[in-house]
Structure 1
Amino acid sequence: MKNLLFLFLIFSVSNITAQSFRTVSVLDSADSKPIANAKILTGSSVLYTNEDGKVLIPEQIKNIEISAPWYGQKKISALSSPIYLNPLFKEIEEVVVTNIDLKNLFKNIIDTYSTVYYSNPSLYTGTVKQKSFVDGKIAHLLVADVNVWSRFNYFNFNAGNDTDSFFNIGLNDIKFYKTIKLDEKYPFASVPNLLPKDFIGTFYMNYQIVGMLNTLKDLKIKTSLLYENAGIQKLRFESERNDQFEIKFTGFLTYNKNDRAIVNLNVVIDQNFAQSEKVSKTGEPYTSNTTKAEVFFDFYKRNNQYLPSLITVMGEGYSESKTMKVPFKAYQEIKLEKFSEGSKRGLKKKIDLSKSFIENIPDKDINETKTLLSAQEQKFIDAKS
């Protein structure tokens, strides 16, 4: 591998039908604040709360299991709202750990990846969400049903030039779609966004881990133990800065010592090297600079192996021309709500990963199904353009 495989984000420009459902709020028991991306296992599907801590759950579902990275797990036999989760600790008291070698832990994860994590052909149904902000204001929102096919459930470096052979996305109903037209004063060719091809690597946790190991080959990682109980560890880490590429990693992870598995991983990448040259609609040259990126992976256990259920990517930075400097932020998530065994053939109907999701929508028809937007997102959709 000639190039370091860390995340350089350069930006370009479930259905619940025919059934009754209930809006359920998941809150922090200590302060009653909403818990975003709390995971709800229903037995047949995986659901997550939105930014406001709310989720739609079919009424007929009775037994659910709820968890979140910094909270205790709760099992419920009958739906109620709100549901409170207890934080694992009131304050993060950092304890520096000298006997946990995070690099070695990461290497062991890579060595055993195909046995700890499900590695046969898989088909997922779920949703994709893209959201962009320009100068602090939301400028783009897309929510769509998707199918995701993965041949291995890990990034295949041997076929890195032919990602279509192990990763496909099929775009189904468009639930919400709105993009504002930027004024000519903004130095953007279009609203900053992520291309599907940028998501290929970030879809797979092993890609991110290998990238960090390559970047930090001769550098140290400070690791702190925040919590441990029954073999479950909550770890915080912070790497030294790679001065050559001006990049540094910090983050959190949940590690199951019994299964030797990372259950969830949050990585924040501070970087000053991700820059691209662009030309605005008026022909004015400008640069797009990504200064910070963040990825999150969440898994759940099924038949003694782990399956992915949520992957999020966020990047922020600024675009700069001769006359102005404008901040931007772009966010993308894929929620994998249902899993089934797949084949080695991939999807018949799949999008072109080199084009944006919007370019892959032939007619821009919106077929809204029951989807719970956050209050901010709903306000954006309802506002007159």
Structure 2
Amino acid sequence: MKHISFLFLLFSAFLTAQKLQVVDAENGKPIANARIILINQLVYTNEDGFAPVNENSKDFEVSASGFKKVNVKNFSSIIKLQPAFKDIEEVKIINVDIKKIIEDLHKNYNKRYFDKPSLYDITFKSKGFNNNNLIFMVIAEAKLWSKSNSYNFRDGYKKNYDEILQIQLNNVKYKKDNLKGIFNVKTNEFEHASMGDYFFSFEIYRLLANMNTKNSKITGRLISEDNDTQVIYVKVQSERGIDVSGEITYNKIDKVITLYNLIYQQENFPIYKKTNKDGVEFDYQLGNASVLFDFYKKDGIYIPASKKVTGEKFFIIHDGKKDERSFSTEIVYNTFTKSNKKGLESKVDFNKSIWDNVPVKEDKEATILLSKEEQEFINQK
């Protein structure tokens, strides 16, 4: 499975953090997006397999898709993971009724994942590209409160967003844009689906909707298995011009998807018109979007670890010019606590761009690992 790199940000407890690297035990290659669960924190490795971890850290878990999970008793600068799954031979490929799994999860979602009020410290990162050039980046520490960890359609349609999810921006560590000369595609819209994108339950609903389209073709195949854990290949072809494909990791005992990584191919979806905030109409062509959700089990309950959406080959057509837009938005849920409070005192107004909100200032240090591209963009005059 293709690994997707994340940004890692640790809070004040990690001021003396050391670079810990996670590598493949068989070939020594770095493992990107390896998850490290510490006592009160959760982080991921970057594209080079590195993550900042306090050298006094003990008894933590390291895992990555396709590798055996390890429990580390004492800090080590290099952690080696063994491949976990034995791929099923092609002649023994087993078909899976993936629609039945998705229907069951949709029906019983709140029984399978934690569904009570929750408070998280998160790392929030967003990037935008125009014709393959990075034009916008923001990295922030924030708090995220969720009433049920799932999307409520009734409140969404009524735009009662604060009843679903609240975000408090604490420290905007980096925010830079280079939008001069770029056609403004921002609209006044914040549809309920934009709020739904924060939740895996909404993604399950969306996948099931594609499965239920007329004459859709659905494929599910078991491609590897290790004890109670299965890796299943998924493909859905619909007449709407949208094809969905990718892999999920499924716990067949708990009946829970723990890792979801699917790509929506949408180039054949018809071009449609949009209007920006200045009232200028333009043509918009959908591209491909990759959706990733990662969960882990803590004290017997499944809670979110990370979420990432990337998009490429989205085209803006205006005044005879065609620009290609790409983007990525990701959240790492660094901490989790059950919440009895009804939300946050200071919160983002979702009726405008999240980054137009004024962040709360907190005296909280952080260590951030930037990629080479990100660092070069920040250093631009």
What RMSD in Å do the two structures reach over aligned CA positions? 2.9
1:249 matched to 2:244? The reply is yes
- Partner Cα separation in structure 1 for residue 293 and residue 302 of structure 2: 12
* Counterpart AA for 2:228: G
Contact in 1 for aligned 2:127/2:328 (Cα 8 Å)? yes
In the superposition, the TM-score normalised over structure 1's length comes to 0.85
Residue in structure 2 matching 1:120, options 106, 109, 116? 116
Unaligned runs of 5+ in 2: 1-8
Contact in 2 for aligned 1:173/1:368 (Cα 8 Å)? no
Contact in 1 for aligned 2:172/2:359 (Cα 8 Å)? no
Residue in structure 1 matching 2:51, options 49, 55, 61? 55
1:361 corresponding residue in structure 2: 358
Structure ranking higher on relative contact order (CA contacts 8 Å, 6+ apart): 1
Q: Specify whether residues 163 and 357 from structure 1 end up closer, same or farther in structure 2 by C-alpha distance, changes over 3 A only.
A: closer
More deviation in 61-70 or 89-98?
A: 89-98
Q: CA deviation at 1:21?
A: 0.8
Contact in 2 for aligned 1:175/1:367 (Cα 8 Å)? no
Residue in structure 2 matching 1:262, options 257, 268, 274? 257
Alignment of 1:1-385 (within 5 A): 15-17=10-12, 19-88=15-84, 96-98=93-95, 100-161=96-157, 162-182=160-180, 184=181, 186=182, 188-189=183-184, 199-217=194-212, 218=214, 219-240=216-237, 242-243=238-239, 245-271=240-266, 272-273=269-270, 275-278=272-275, 285-316=281-312, 317-343=314-340, 345-361=342-358, 369-384=366-381
Contact in 1 for aligned 2:168/2:359 (Cα 8 Å)? no
Q: CA deviation at 1:355?
A: 1.8
Q: CA deviation at 1:81?
A: 2.5
- Superposed CA deviations along residues 41-61 of structure 1, whole A, max 9, x for unmatched, are 112121111233221112221
- Partner Cα separation in structure 2 for residue 131 and residue 169 of structure 1: 19
Q: CA deviation at 1:35?
A: 2.4
What secondary structure, in the 3-state scheme, does the structure 2 residue paired with 1:376 have? helix
Kindly tell me the number of residue pairs found equivalent between the two proteins.
Answer: 363
Contact in 1 for aligned 2:10/2:43 (Cα 8 Å)? no
What secondary structure, in the 3-state scheme, does the structure 1 residue paired with 2:69 have? strand
- Partner Cα separation in structure 1 for residue 198 and residue 65 of structure 2: 19
More deviation in 50-59 or 83-92?
A: 83-92
More deviation in 253-262 or 78-87?
A: 78-87
Contact in 2 for aligned 1:290/1:315 (Cα 8 Å)? no
- Partner Cα separation in structure 2 for residue 91 and residue 74 of structure 1: 20
Contact in 1 for aligned 2:68/2:81 (Cα 8 Å)? yes
Q: Specify whether residues 30 and 136 from structure 1 end up closer, same or farther in structure 2 by C-alpha distance, changes over 3 A only.
A: farther
What secondary structure, in the 3-state scheme, does the structure 2 residue paired with 1:47 have? strand
What secondary structure, in the 3-state scheme, does the structure 1 residue paired with 2:367 have? coil
Unaligned runs of 5+ in 1: 1-13
- Partner Cα separation in structure 2 for residue 89 and residue 366 of structure 1: 44
Q: CA deviation at 1:108?
A: 1.4
- Partner Cα separation in structure 1 for residue 191 and residue 52 of structure 2: 27
What secondary structure, in the 3-state scheme, does the structure 2 residue paired with 1:63 have? strand
Contact in 2 for aligned 1:171/1:350 (Cα 8 Å)? yes
In the superposition, the TM-score normalised over structure 2's length comes to 0.86
Contact in 1 for aligned 2:87/2:223 (Cα 8 Å)? no
1:4 corresponding residue in structure 2: none
Q: Specify whether residues 195 and 369 from structure 1 end up closer, same or farther in structure 2 by C-alpha distance, changes over 3 A only.
A: farther
Q: CA deviation at 1:142?
A: 0.6
- Partner Cα separation in structure 2 for residue 16 and residue 383 of structure 1: 27
1:6 corresponding residue in structure 2: none
- Partner Cα separation in structure 2 for residue 253 and residue 363 of structure 1: 37
Contact in 2 for aligned 1:128/1:146 (Cα 8 Å)? yes
What secondary structure, in the 3-state scheme, does the structure 1 residue paired with 2:265 have? strand
1:11 corresponding residue in structure 2: none
Contact in 2 for aligned 1:175/1:368 (Cα 8 Å)? no
- Superposed CA deviations along residues 151-191 of structure 1, whole A, max 9, x for unmatched, are 11111223222232121111110111111133x3x4x2169
What secondary structure, in the 3-state scheme, does the structure 2 residue paired with 1:27 have? strand
* Counterpart AA for 2:175: Y
- Superposed CA deviations along residues 16-75 of structure 1, whole A, max 9, x for unmatched, are 226411111222334443322211011212111123322111222122211112222122
What secondary structure, in the 3-state scheme, does the structure 2 residue paired with 1:207 have? helix
Q: CA deviation at 1:309?
A: 1.1
Contact in 2 for aligned 1:294/1:314 (Cα 8 Å)? yes
